[in-house]
Amino acid sequence: MTVYGILFYLLAAAVVAATAVAITRRNLVHAVVYLIFSYFGTAMLFYLFGAPLLAALEVIIYAGAIMVLFLFVVMMIKVEAPEEYLFPVRQWIPAAFFGAVYLAAGCAMIFASPGNEAALRMLLATPREFGLYVFQNHWFSIEVISLLLLLALVGALRLGRGKHRTGDQV
Amino acid sequence: MIVPFSHVLLLAAVLFGLGIFCAVARRNLIMIVLGIEIMLNAASIAFVGAALRWGDLEGQVFVLFILAVAATEVSVGLAVIVYAFRRTGSFDPGAFNLLK
Amino acid sequence: MHLEPANFPYLSAILFSCVAGLLAIVFIPAENKILIKRVSASFSGMTLVLSLILFVAYDRGLGGLQFVENIPWIPSLGIHYFNAVDGFSLPNLLLTGIVFFTGVLTMWEMETRVKEYHALYFLLVTGVFGLFMSMDLFFIFVWYDVSLFPMYLLIAVWGTTRKEYGAMKLTLYLLAGSALILPAVVLLYVRSGLNTFGIVPLMQAGLFTPGEQKLAFLLLFLGFGILAGVWPFHTWSPVGHVAAPHGVSMVHAGVLMKIGAFGVLRVAIMLCPLGWIYWAKLMAVLAAIGIIYGAFVGLRQTDLKYVIGYSSVSHMGIVGLGLSTVTAEGLNGAVFQMFAHGIMTALLFSSVGYIYDRTHTKAIPELGGLSRIMPVASTYFIVAALAGIGVPGLANFWGELVVFIAAFKTYPPLGVIAVLALAVTALFMLRVVQKTFYGPRNEQFAQLPDVTFAQGVPRMILAAVLLVFGLCPALLFDVIQTASVPFMSGLPR
Amino acid sequence: MKWMIAAPEMYYFSAALWFLLLSFSGKPRAKRENMTALGLAAVGVLVCLASVWSDGYLFIKAFRADMFSQVFKVLLSLGLFLIVCICGNISEIGERRLHDFYFLLFTCTLALMLLVSADHLLSIYISLELSSYSLYVLVALRRDPRFGLEAGIKYFLIGTFASAVMLFGMALLYSAGHETYLTKMTRALAEIIDQPMVIIGLLFTLGGFFFKLAVFPFHFWAPDTYQGAANQVAAYIATVSKVAAIAVIVRVVAFTGQGSTYLVHALVMLSVVSMTVGNLAAIVQKDLKRLLAFSTVAHSGYVLIGILALSPAGYTGAVFYALALLLMKFTAFLVLVALADDGRNIQIEELAGLHRRSPILALALMVSLFSLAGIPPTIGFTGKFLIFIAAIEKGYLTLVIIAMINVVISLYYYLLVIKAAYLLEPITEPAPLRVSYPIRLLAGTSVAAIILAGFAPYWLIQVAQAAV
Amino acid sequence: MISFSAECATLTALLLTTFPPFLAFLVTMVLTRSRPILSAKLSIGAVSLSLACSIFLLVLRWGQPEPVQFSFRLLASSGVDVPFGFLVDPLSVLMLVIVAAISFLVQVYSLGYMAGDPGFSRYYSFMSLFAWAMLSMTVSLSILQLYIFWELVGLASYLLIGFWYEKFSASQAGKKAFVMTRTGDVAFFLGILTVLLNLGNLSIPEMNGPAAGGMPQSILTLSAILIFGGIIGKSAQFPLLTWLPDAMEGPTPVSALLHSATMVAAGVYLFARLFPFFSLSPTAMSFFLGIGTISMLLASTMAIVSRDIKRVWAYSTISQLGLMIMALGAGGYFAGVFHLTTHAGFKALLFLCSGVMIHQYQTNDIYELSRLGCSRMKVPILTITLAAAALSGLPPLSGFFSKEAVLGELAGLSNPVWLCAGLAGVFLTAYYSFRVIFILFSPPPDAKPVDIDAGSQHPDHGDTHHEAHYRFMAVPLIILAAVTVALGYVGEPLRAFLTGGGTLGGVHEEGFALSHLVALGLAAGGMILAWLEFGRPGAKQIGIVERIPPLNRLFAERWYIDHFYRKIVDVLVDRGIAYLCWKNDNKVIDGTIDGMGKGTVESGRLMASLQSGMIQYRMLAIFAVMVFLSLYFLFQQI
């Protein structure tokens, strides 16, 4: 067990813990903040796995952009937290049950497959080669994703902008 | 040498499960979206781990695109949710029962 | 099997005149009812003439398949547009022609949504003709369904009693039958390994293992048997008979049920002889039950059409019994009975149609004493009823006779049961005749007119056919034998 | 010029951009926009037809053009064209939104085309997302916000959920097999296909496509979305996106699933459940669109039968069935759109007296429904027939019998609709129905197409075989 | 050459005998419905032609006992070869003549009786059908062919009995007749099938020939008894005898035809036809003997108490038929046929006479008739007396000779029971027939005779043609009376002709004197008893039986046989089996089907309700299914 191993387990524990706490917060703001922690953890994991660029992007985009967007929305709509009935029984009991079964099955499955015991070696993908790789092999997907982002932009615009008027029309 | 690959998968699986749980068990649209984000995150962890296992970059590339898709999802999703909030005044997914 | 190519495509001509009539009707404006009726009468008459020509021109000495038309349709699947006529299908074609034509004439007075009615009617009969003349499994299935799905609207729109229930029940029931037929057909296609749906190539012996034959035969027998009104699956037919308008009842009881029996003969028996021999006892038992059971239930009915419906359950039981005796006589009798019963039941429905249109009731208790008021109409009915009883001199007698002889040879006990049913049939038929037509002149209907000559034409035709084939059955038996005897002789034992 | 093999994509890309630019310019006018879209879609069909024979790879093998994909592109473009044909008076999308509407429509078609010829897991995923997102927005665009919003939210949430599942599946596949190109997966997965993790990964991956095809359990969005979306959008989802979904599932299964009995088991279960659930639930529906949605679920079950045969015959059947679905569903929706002149949802009893108000529409409805029920001689029957042949060749007789029983069940509710159209008489005589001449023409043509393609399907089958 | 020409002539005559009535039937049925007189002419012409030809045949074939066959091919079905054609032998020729003659006379008679009836031409077309069926049945070559025409005879009698279908009782009687005979015919048909299977051939000569002897005894007995079932039905023998009295609902001429020569005679004819075949099985023969006896006695007892003149004769028919069957069963071929012949004569006469009276006074009740003074109708009353005498076997009338022959046969049997039964029958016959006669002759003192011409008329026609009608009816009476008187003396030549030199049915001369004297004595005794009770001046006209109410009721109710059948049909068939089948059809079979339908719809409702859940439930469902599948794979693995 190397120091990296210990690091991995610590981070994993942190991520899981942060996520678990996040999804049980009644207050959305708290939830989002805890989730940001979990994303930081994930970013470190990426770094540990030798993907520094992805780690950076994770922090910037996920923790930075996306979660902040969440926060922004939550703030913008001043939602009274207690309105939500946290974990209705009819939802979380079956969810928990299936989750448990799922985890059991997942473990069984992961450890059943022989290939998975392969120990991971330390590797490093420098941003340079990563970028090169992406733009050599996947610029088709990049084009598509750009179109997707554009479309998302348009969609968000339309859905956000027209709503009052459409709302009035009804 | 860090850890066996299976542990990484296990971590991903646990996160995935948590995400699903969040998406299924919380009566709140925003939390549903968050849960889905968590699921995506789990997937990306699995990808990075796998990339490390095979020692190539495909997995990492996936993660890059997952980030973009997540961003899209959040933008559209939140737009819709805000729209919905404006109409129904709550985040309760149970409020949508008109179609049946 | 001997194949005799056609010098002129009579069969396609029949189909064509059906389709042409259909299109013609579709393009006539709906207001012009009389023209529509004339058109449909003339086109159906054309089919009748053509089938008569076939019946005459069929070379009884030669036998085998004649007037063969064979065009590859979907080569990649081995589907051929393969039409031919043999001793089994020829009587049915003639039957269809007659019933089709007379059915059109019977519905002459109908005035509601004439255009749609005749269009659907033509579609229905196109399917029937196609099925009787096709020698390709794919087409047989296609025609089968083509002849089924107009029934729903025909019954539900123009029908009378509980029409929507009856229509729905009938359609679903029969399609459940086809749900069993299609897998069996495909199974045969796949297992043959010949990549063909043609019946002729598939008939070669030893193509299918006994196991396959048993399975396929069971599926096919149940599938087609539902349409033939085999005992436990018969309940759709009285309901449908009652609900349907008279012209449709004629085609339906007269021809559609024959499609079922014919399908059993053409597909199941011809392709899976081993399965036939294996399941024959089951068939026989069901048929015998149907015969006696239908007769008994008929005793209880108070609705004219219900009575006819159950009588046809009983009579189709006789057909089934004939098919189940693995003998040439059995087949002869069965096919003859198909023909005779078709004509007879068509005549019954046609007469009932006239009576119902005048009196607006089918309830036997409300009727009575009609014989004094409309003697001719009641004569037609009585003739048909007597034929149903199996009075010699009318066609049905011969079919029943031959079937009973064959059955008595193969399954003596069942034969006895079936013969006993004769008495019951006589009882309920005569009861109906007595309650409906005899008794004091019914003042309620006193002023109703009798059948005029023109109206009488279709019934006259049918009665004449009954009489002709009753007096010289050899006309038909000669034809049927050309198919049954070689088939039975070629049967693997 | 090797770029020409991507001609359809480029064409639709530019068309989409054109509408995008328009949307920044002046105010749209329904007639003009529709005409433009019609013209563009028509040309698109021609382009796709022209590039049917093109064959090859692009973008480092991430994009693959072969007979299969090109045939499907033709189908997609055809579908788009037909849909645009019935967008003449699309009153449920605000006139102000028309540019966006057509932009999304074309983008979605583009995405589906990319999906059809994507060969890399990543590109598949991305194109799938692209098409899904454009559909989310399209659904939410409905003017009546109660419907549009609810349908949009449900569609969006379940869609993203499914795509997350699919992504995880891809992750599993990748981590187990180290292959991301479909074409190479066959080899890569050959020996490990029976590992549970791989199959689960495969199944999760397929889940994303099942979502598009509305296979149980991923069908839950379909009824609400159909009901909530504007009629034309629902028509688009029911026809074009289904075609693409069939294509991609066939491709993925063909490349990865070979020789996996467990996968076949799973598919058998899913298909049986889908058709049963779809047909049963459809029986009690009142809203015509909702009923059609459930019948779509059932049809996805039938298609799966063809796919799980894992044989060229089965794929042929599936491809043919895609065409059949396109035609039949389109005809049904055509009637629906023509009836709902103000874009409302059509309840079944609203069909009363249709046979008088517009015989041609009634006929089209009847033919399309019988074709959906798979009654010969219609294209629906031929499709089922091919699929059943393939299934029985593999020995799935019971499965076929179950499917046929389902056909009987389905006929029940189709007959209820037909009964409404032909038997019932409206209580209060509705406003006289004005069916424009082109719509009549379209209805007549599609009826003829359904019946002809059912009665003489030879060359269509040839095409399908060539595609596989 | 000669033989050929003879054959040719025979064939022509046969065709001319059998087919004209059929043509007449078709023509009158289809074309001349609306022209009664023409129909009548056609039909009578046809039947007279048949009569002429049959007489010609008789002359032609006289003294040639060996049969001649002509066969044609009618039915072609592999395995079932049914020879169709004509079998001409003394029996059939004799029967031809009888049938043709009686039909002819009856049709002439009907000119008067049925005049003005609305269904006049229908009546005649049915009559022709009847004649055709009976004639063709007589000369059929194969038993199956015989069965076919046998059925047609049944059909014709159904139509004729129910001729006045406005009367419920009439249509009821017709139905009853048809169904009951049909029941017998089922047995008959089964018998035919048995023969076919075991003999492989149905031609009558074959069955009578040596080939039949090869069949095992049990099969032989079985088939004989089954075939006899048909005879029981047609000839109204013991179990199935109740339809015949009801058949009186038909017009009287029809009854005459039915009872004398056609319908019921067919049964006995069949017996005679297959006599050699039957006599191969002694068991069967004694069974027949028993049946005949029972029916004879039962019927006579019924006849004693009946007040309806036609019914009396009907019962007497049954008993006489029973007598014939006894004779045949006893092996007296000639005796049976001879009695059949003579009986045809006087029974027709009886009915026709009664018909005249009924037609005149519109009542069947004997007391009514005598009160209205029917005794003043000269011709009928005389001829009826004559006929009654013949019926009760008084010399020198034909009945005497035939009965003596029969009794002779019975006397020849080892077991004296049969003879005694026969003698009892003679006594009863004499008693009931003369009971009727005396009642008719001695009207009660309070009688107010109605003048013939002033007599109430047949409802449908006025007085004008009345005389003509009367003449039409009288002529046949006289002819038949002559026959009745004369027929007795042709017995010996007839025997020679029939038995072709005594091969069949040997006569037993010994015991002749005794039995005949006893018979005569009994007949006289019966007559005297009748005279004492009804005839002598001041007689109360109440028979012994009527003094014993229970017995009277028993007889009047026909030994409750009819009630028994009613019960069977009502309770067992209608409310029993039929009801069960019907309920089963509605409740069980249809119930299952509809239940399946309802179940489907219900489950559909369930499925749809799953749809209307919240978004998250759907995600949950997806998740659940995924988990389930993963578990499935896992367990597949392990």
| Angular region, D431: left φ>0, alpha ψ -120 to 50, beta rest | beta
Bridge partners (DSSP) of residue E140 are E86
Residue E183 has pLDDT above 90, yes or no: no
Residue E4 has pLDDT above 70, yes or no: no
Q: What is the DSSP string of C111-177?
A: -TTHHHHHHHHHHHHHHHHHHHHB-BHHHHHHHHHHHHHHHHHHHHHH--TTHHHHHHHHHHHHHHH
Cross-chain CB nearest to D133 (options A148, A166, A169): A148
- Chain E residues touching chain D at CB-CB below 8 Å: 597, 600-601, 603-608, 610-611, 615, 618-619, 621-622, 624-626, 629-630, 632-634, 636-637
- pLDDT (mean) for E373-378: 74
CA distance linking residue E410 with residue E50, whole number of Å:
36
**Token pair of D345, please?**
């949802």
Average pLDDT score, chain C: 88
Quick one: pLDDT band at residue E79, thresholds 50, 70, 90? low
Closest CA to A137 of D116, D186, B57, D189: B57
CB spacing of D265 vs E604 below 8 angstroms: no
Buried b (16+ CB within 10 A) or exposed e, E339-373: bbbbbbbbbbbbbbbbbbbbbbbebbebbebbbbb
Residue type, E400: F
**Token pair of D439, please?**
């719509």
Q: What is the DSSP string of E64-104?
A: --S-EEEEEEEEEETTEEEEEEEEE-HHHHHHHHHHHHHHH
pLDDT digits (tens, 9 = 90+) for A2-34: 888 889 999 999 999 999 999 888 888 888 899
CA distance linking residue D386 with residue C75, whole number of Å:
14
For residue A165, the model assigns a pLDDT of 44
Q: Touch between chain C and chain A (3+ CB pairs, < 8 Å)?
A: no
CB spacing of E623 vs B20 below 8 angstroms: yes
DSSP state of E451: P
Nearest chain D residue to A116 by CA: give it: D176
DSSP state of D229: S
C42: how many CB neighbours lie within 10 A of its CB? Answer: 14
For residue E512, the model assigns a pLDDT of 54
pLDDT digits (tens, 9 = 90+) for A46-81: 998 888 899 999 898 888 888 888 888 888 776 655
Of the two residues E569 and D395, the one the predictor is more confident about is D395
For residue E347, the model assigns a pLDDT of 87
Residue E539 has pLDDT above 80, yes or no: no
How close is the nearest chain E Cα to the Cα of B51, in Å? 24
Nearest chain D residue to A154 by CA: give it: D100
Instruction: Using alpha carbons, list the distances in angstroms from residue E406 to E98, E320, E348, E398.
Output: 20, 11, 20, 13
CA distance linking residue E233 with residue E244, whole number of Å:
10
Residue C378 has pLDDT above 80, yes or no: yes
How close is the nearest chain A Cα to the Cα of B96, in Å? 15
Q: Tell whether A109 lies on the interface with E, counting CB pairs under 8 A.
A: yes
The alpha carbon dihedral of E231, E233, E238, E244 has a sign of negative
Average pLDDT score, chain A: 82
Neighbours of chain D (3+ CB pairs under 8 A): A, B, C, E
Mutate to test the interface with D, among A149, A154, A157 (most CBs of D within 10 A): A154
Neighbours of chain A (3+ CB pairs under 8 A): B, D, E
How close is the nearest chain B Cα to the Cα of E623, in Å? 8
CA distance linking residue D135 with residue D228, whole number of Å:
13
CB spacing of D376 vs C145 below 8 angstroms: yes
Q: Judge whether E402 and E343 are in contact, CB under 8 Å.
A: yes
Angle at which helices D242-256 and D312-339 pack, to 10 degrees?
170
Q: What is the DSSP string of E542-596?
A: --HHHHSHHHHHHHHTGGGHHHHHHHIIIIIIIIIIIHHHHHIIIIIIIHHHHHH
Of the two residues C57 and E414, the one the predictor is more confident about is C57
CB spacing of A125 vs B13 below 8 angstroms: no
**Token pair of D152, please?**
């949009």
Give yes or no for a cis peptide into D377 (omega within 30° of 0).
yes
Nearest chain D residue to E608 by CA: give it: D281
**Token pair of E191, please?**
């018998």
Q: Judge whether C293 and C270 are in contact, CB under 8 Å.
A: no
Q: What are phi and psi of C61, to 5 degrees?
A: -65, -40
CA distance linking residue C215 with residue D392, whole number of Å:
14
Residue written as token pair 């030798």: A50
DSSP H or E run through E450:
none
Q: Judge whether D138 and D190 are in contact, CB under 8 Å.
A: no
CA distance linking residue B47 with residue E352, whole number of Å:
115
**CA dihedral in degrees (D216, D220, D226, D229; nearest 10)?**
-140
Angle at which helices B58-88 and A67-76 pack, to 10 degrees?
0
pLDDT digits (tens, 9 = 90+) for C159-205: 887 888 888 888 888 888 988 999 999 999 998 888 889 888 888 87
Cross-chain CB nearest to D404 (options C164, C168, C182): C182
For residue D158, the model assigns a pLDDT of 92
- pLDDT (mean) for A98-122: 80
How close is the nearest chain E Cα to the Cα of D438, in Å? 37
Buried b (16+ CB within 10 A) or exposed e, D206-235: bbbbbbbbbbbbbbbbbbbbbbbbbbbbbb
Top-ranked range on mean pLDDT: pick from C237-251, E190-204, E475-489: C237-251
CA distance linking residue D157 with residue E187, whole number of Å:
79
CA E420, E423, E425: angle at the middle one, nearest 5?
110
**Distance from CA of residue E538 to its chain's centroid?**
40
Q: Touch between chain C and chain B (3+ CB pairs, < 8 Å)?
A: no
Average pLDDT score, chain E: 82
Task: Provide the CB-side half-sphere exposure for E350 (13 A, CA).
Answer: 31
pLDDT digits (tens, 9 = 90+) for E196-239: 888 877 788 888 888 777 788 888 888 889 999 988 888 888 88
Q: Judge whether D223 and E611 are in contact, CB under 8 Å.
A: yes
Per-residue pLDDT tens digits of chain D, which is 468 residues long: 677 888 899 999 999 999 988 888 878 888 888 888 999 999 999 999 988 888 888 777 778 888 899 999 999 999 999 999 988 888 778 778 888 899 999 999 999 999 998 888 999 999 999 999 999 999 988 887 778 888 888 999 999 999 999 999 999 989 888 888 888 887 888 777 778 888 888 889 999 999 999 998 898 899 999 998 999 999 999 999 999 999 999 988 888 767 678 888 889 999 999 999 999 999 998 899 999 999 999 999 999 999 998 889 999 999 999 999 999 999 999 999 998 888 888 888 888 888 888 889 999 999 999 999 988 889 999 999 999 999 999 889 999 999 999 999 999 999 999 998 988 888 887 777 888 888 999 999 999 999 998 888 888 888 888 888
Q: What are phi and psi of D144, to 5 degrees?
A: -70, 105
Residue E470 has pLDDT above 80, yes or no: no
CB spacing of E605 vs D265 below 8 angstroms: no
CA distance linking residue B89 with residue C119, whole number of Å:
58
For residue D269, the model assigns a pLDDT of 92
Nearest chain E residue to C373 by CA: give it: E166
Quick one: pLDDT band at residue B16, thresholds 50, 70, 90? very high
Nearest chain B residue to A135 by CA: give it: B61
Q: Exposed/middle/buried for E308, CB within 10 Å: 0-12, 13-18, 19+?
A: middle
For residue E197, the model assigns a pLDDT of 83
C38-52, C369-383, C440-454, E287-301, range with the lowest pLDDT: C440-454
| Angular region, D310: left φ>0, alpha ψ -120 to 50, beta rest | left
Quick one: pLDDT band at residue C263, thresholds 50, 70, 90? very high
Chain A residues within 8 A of D136 when measuring between CB atoms: 155
**Distance from CA of residue D427 to its chain's centroid?**
36
Chain B residues within 8 A of D160 when measuring between CB atoms: 33, 36, 73, 77
Q: Judge whether E449 and E373 are in contact, CB under 8 Å.
A: yes
Q: Judge whether B54 and D178 are in contact, CB under 8 Å.
A: yes
**CA dihedral in degrees (D142, D143, D146, D151; nearest 10)?**
0
Bridge partners (DSSP) of residue A119 are B4
Mutate to test the interface with B, among A120, A140, A170 (most CBs of B within 10 A): A120
Quick one: pLDDT band at residue A163, thresholds 50, 70, 90? very low
**Token pair of C378, please?**
């009641």
pLDDT digits (tens, 9 = 90+) for E485-516: 888 788 778 887 877 655 444 444 444 567 77
For residue E459, the model assigns a pLDDT of 45
Quote the pTM value: 0.90
Give yes or no for a cis peptide into A88 (omega within 30° of 0).
no
Q: Report helix, strand or coil for E205.
A: helix
Cross-chain CB nearest to B54 (options D121, D171, D178): D178
For residue D147, the model assigns a pLDDT of 84
CA distance linking residue D378 with residue D370, whole number of Å:
8
DSSP state of A151: H
Q: Tell whether B54 lies on the interface with A, counting CB pairs under 8 A.
A: no
For residue E447, the model assigns a pLDDT of 61
Q: Judge whether D292 and D283 are in contact, CB under 8 Å.
A: no
What percent of chain C clears pLDDT 90, i.e. is strictly above it? 35
Sequence-distant (6+) residues with CB within 8 A of E235 are E264, E265, E266, E267, E268, E321, E325
Give yes or no for a cis peptide into E396 (omega within 30° of 0).
yes
pLDDT digits (tens, 9 = 90+) for C464-477: 999 899 888 888 88
Q: What is the CA radius of gyration of chain B?
A: 17
